[in-house]
Chains A and B, each alone.
Chain A
Amino acid sequence: MPDTTFPRFVPVADCGLLVEFGDTVGGPAHAGVLALDRALAARPVPGQRETVPAYVNLMVVFDPAETDHAAVTRAVRERLAHPPEARSAGRLHEVPVCYEAEFARDMAAVTDQTGLSAEAVIAAHLAGDYEVHLYGFAPGYAYMAGVPDPIRLPRKPAPVRGIPAGSVIIAGPQCIVTTVTMPAGWWVLGRSPARILTGDPDRPFLFDVGDKVRFTRVDRAEFDRLSRGAA
């Protein structure tokens, strides 16, 4: 029997409609989110202000002076019934990471918990195929799924203050390259010179939701060179 529970349309206050495609991360729900996101980018519904894709659902934010939940629900159903042409695959980004000790403050804790050597932890992190599932927490924090099993760890019991911008941090299946200095409860494996906040007004963020990421290893000299180049 097909699952008729989804998509589910949940009103949020006076200006949001949450379109849900499932309950669990890792299932087919995210494909539904990406498909609707593309459909609404190609053909926005009247009164649409913005869309916010997440793991299993997507928020349509609308102007209540122009439309309402019922009209947006009808328009979204219509977009779902007539999706745009075949999906364009997300772009692939290569993101350099320097894993040297001064940038990898949690490497010892990660090797302790996983029983792996530092080199094995790095190899595992580099082996992952990552996909940007959503943004959250702070500007430009892209949640990438794809951390391989051997280095999946629960987050720290409490966040640590002052994790520098550019830190490559992991928790569970997720990895983030941080963009600002903020507290974080995830494990710091290294630092990237990549500019997620690009400074380009036409394309201010490096990734779009749905993009793929592969990490490449750089040494300190290369990190410095790339950091200068990016500055």
Chain B
Amino acid sequence: MSRAVLHVAQAGPHVSIQDGGRLGWLRYGVTESGPMDRIAFARANAALGNPAGAAGIEVSLGGLTVDCAEGAVTLAVAGGGFVVESAAGTGGSWTVVTLRRGERLVIRRGPWGAWTYLQPAGRLLARPWLGSVATHAPSGIGGGMLAAGQEIVIEDARVLQKVECALPCPVTARPRHEVAVVLGPQDRFFAGEAIAALTGAPYRLTDAYDRMGVRLRGPQLVPEGALSIPSEPILRGSIQVAGDGVPAVLLADHQTTGGYPKIATIVSAHLDGFVQLRPHEIVRFRAVTPAEAVGLARLRARQRQPFDR
């Protein structure tokens, strides 16, 4: 069995080990976690012939530098427009590189996008919980956040000879500035002006952005008398409005239940493009019917199928 060991020389905040996610445990307070951008993650695994959902590393705008301390392994980097430096030279993400003992790989923020994925051709060793190594950042459960000094061990590490070095970046992996939402489930607590503001005015993402969610900046959306609704289930993409009228979008590590009213929910087909927006970028929300949202999900599932083996 060949084995590769990567030494983490630098890791920005929010860099973590992720796999396809920990699905089916919402009723026990366990959110799915997994990649923020599921499309890019799937493409990186598919490029290497990995099983769908194979574990890798989610890299934030803070970047990642690893040194190969042992063995050799081919890696795919997909998601966003990051800069990738290796022995092969400097290029962009959406690439496949091979790292050999003594070589360094640097991933740092580039012209666009907020998250990228470093997937090894091999099995990244990490401690699973409930059958998944996906890191739940707030609790640290799962494979964990990465920090300088750590070692990443890849078992069954492969060096792929015949592989395209440049991966196509699908249009669905680009940042999405117009995002479809279904109103509710608690839109009834908001006046018509608030709904009109949400779906009419531009909002900006703020720096309050991590794997749990992102706070937005834009017109206030003050709920009417809904300050203490009973805690209820939350899905990824939920746009929650706290008492101060500031909306926040809940993402991969969201809480499973909460008592703030949810004015609308981003359709799942548009979440991957939404998370590639950076802080201070503009987003506009467009209301669609639940049936239209299902149609978008089915279209997205057909587009993804070849990469979800």
Contacts and interface: CB of A to CB of B under 8 A. Distances in A.
Query: Are both chains from one complex?
Result: yes
B26 A52 contact: yes
Contact of B29 (A10, A23, A136): A136
B182 A14 contact: yes
Interface residues of A, number: 44
Interface in A118-141: 134-141
Interface residues of B, number: 45
Contact of A14 (B230, B232, B290): B290
A56 B26 CA distance: 16
A13 interface: yes
A131 B156 CA distance: 48
A51 B27 CA distance: 7
A181 B256 CA distance: 18
Given A12-B265, A138-B139, A64 B294 contact: yes
Interface stretch (B83-91, B214-222, B296-304): B296-304
Given A68-B290, A137-B257, A54 B232 contact: yes
Given A12-B182, A137-B29, A204-B28, A25 B230 contact: yes
A205 B28 contact: yes
Contacts of A58: 233
A88 B238 CA distance: 34
A163 B219 CA distance: 36
A53 interface: yes
Interface of B: 23-31, 130-131, 136, 138-141, 181-182, 184-185, 229-233, 235, 237-238, 255-258, 265-269, 290-291, 293-294, 296-298, 301
Give 10 nearest A-B pairs by CB, closest first.
A136-B257, A135-B29, A59-B233, A14-B293, A64-B297, A11-B290, A52-B233, A13-B265, A55-B230, A14-B297
26 contacts: A10-B184, A10-B185, A11-B184, A11-B290, A12-B235, A12-B265, A13-B266, A14-B269, A14-B290, A15-B268, A16-B265, A51-B27, A52-B233, A54-B257, A55-B232, A57-B232, A64-B268, A65-B297, A65-B298, A135-B28, A135-B29, A135-B30, A136-B29, A137-B256, A139-B29, A204-B130
